[in-house]
Amino acid sequence: MAEEVTNEVDEGAKKKAEEVTNEVDEGAKKFDVKNLGMGAWIGIAVAALIIGVLIGKFALGGGAGAALNKTTLTEQELDTVVANYSDNGAAKNITARQVIEMTSSLESSKDESGNYTVPSADNILYAVRNTIAIGEAEKRGINPSDEDLLNYAEKTLGQTPDFESIATSNNIDVNTVKKLLTDSYRISELQKQVGGEMSVTEPEMPKEPEYKTTKDDGSALSDDEIKKNQEEAYNKTSADYAKYIINLAGDEWDAQGNKWKSEDGPYAQALASYDVKNDSANYLAAYAAYQTAYSKYSEAQSEYMKTVTDYLGNLYGNSSINILTLKQ
């Protein structure tokens, strides 16, 4: 029973998370994270989150230039223009090198012959969207200091707060590190300026209780014995789980009355079948509270992302792109 209930809340939380993040994360899924350089990792972790898949906001075609009629580029050809685009009426170009560095890494993109695959149309669109967003951030005066970048690197990448160390660990030069961090920082701050601060933070999951899966001599327990131990652990009450629930519920909990203030609140309804006290609750109740908190977070995140993507959609609506890599 405990396992069934836990699986149910777990699946519910996962489903909600997938619904909220599916659209905005689709662009990131196109890339193989295992082979990404630092620049691509930053771009996917930040830029893809806010930009999503707004390809439809672009007007395709309308630019000058002939198709490249090739599938690979030599190292000397990396600065070949692969697309022309307009940004608020200003004509601009983007090169194969720029696209590759935003969507992968030069090293991972090189084939056995030392050549590079011509960037796909999807990757070009992704890179152009990032470039336009970065340009908008610059117009808004988002210009981070070295200290800002190092703090951002430590928070986002978990990297040692030192440009040289980051460069060495990622096998790139310091100037490239600074540019990648600056671009990512600008997009992150643009997101905050447009969407504001999130009103709800992502909740941490309650710690799952431990239970025995082997005998004292190390031999395996039967499935029934493991299930029994799990049920006992999940149903065992503790003050820690009570504190976890009450912290999430906030004003819904009446500490003096040692009960819910109202049976109509979202937490009270979600935990109606559980016995919650000031100093006593079990893991299943805590997990149900987590699911409720995550649902609140997902709804807030969805609204937040809609504000950002609507803004960017209008921004991209003033742009057009002519991709040169498509064969005639």
User: What DSSP string runs through 160-171?
Assistant: -S-HHHHHHHHT
**116 contacts: CB under 8 Å, gap ≥ 6:** 72, 73, 74, 75, 78, 96, 100, 106, 109, 110
Contact indicator for 286, 189 with CB cutoff of 8 Å:
no
In a domain, 18, yes or no: no
Q: How far lies 126's CA from each of 11, 76, 98, in Å?
A: 31, 23, 11
Domain count, the chain: 2
In a domain, 258, yes or no: yes
Residues 64, 97 share a domain: yes
In a domain, 17, yes or no: no
* pLDDT score for 165: 86
Residues 217, 105 share a domain: no
Residues 247, 290 share a domain: yes
Residues 193, 103 share a domain: yes
Residues 179, 93 share a domain: yes
Q: How far lies 190's CA from each of 61, 79, 138, 193, 197, in Å?
A: 28, 28, 9, 5, 11
User: Phi and psi dihedrals of 223, rounded to 5?
Assistant: -60, -40
Question: Could you tell me which residues are beta bridge partners of residue 86?
Answer: 91, 320
In a domain, 55, yes or no: yes
Domain range for 128: 23-200+306-323
Contact indicator for 81, 65 with CB cutoff of 8 Å:
yes
Q: Which amino acid is located at 84 in the chain?
A: N
Residues 291, 314 share a domain: no
* pLDDT score for 67: 62
Residues 231, 93 share a domain: no
Indicate the pTM of the whole model.
0.62
In a domain, 235, yes or no: yes
User: Phi and psi dihedrals of 214, rounded to 5?
Assistant: -135, 160
Residues 237, 281 share a domain: yes
pLDDT per residue of the chain (328 residues) written in tens, 0 to 9: 444 544 544 454 344 334 333 433 333 333 333 333 444 444 433 444 344 333 334 444 444 445 667 888 999 999 999 999 988 888 999 999 998 888 777 777 888 899 998 888 888 888 888 888 899 999 999 999 999 999 988 887 776 678 888 888 777 778 878 888 888 889 889 988 988 877 788 999 999 999 999 999 989 999 999 999 999 999 999 999 999 999 999 999 999 999 999 999 999 999 999 999 999 999 999 999 999 999 999 999 888 888 888 888 888 887 888 888 655 4
226 closest CA partner among 214, 236, 218? 214
In a domain, 15, yes or no: no
Residues 235, 196 share a domain: no
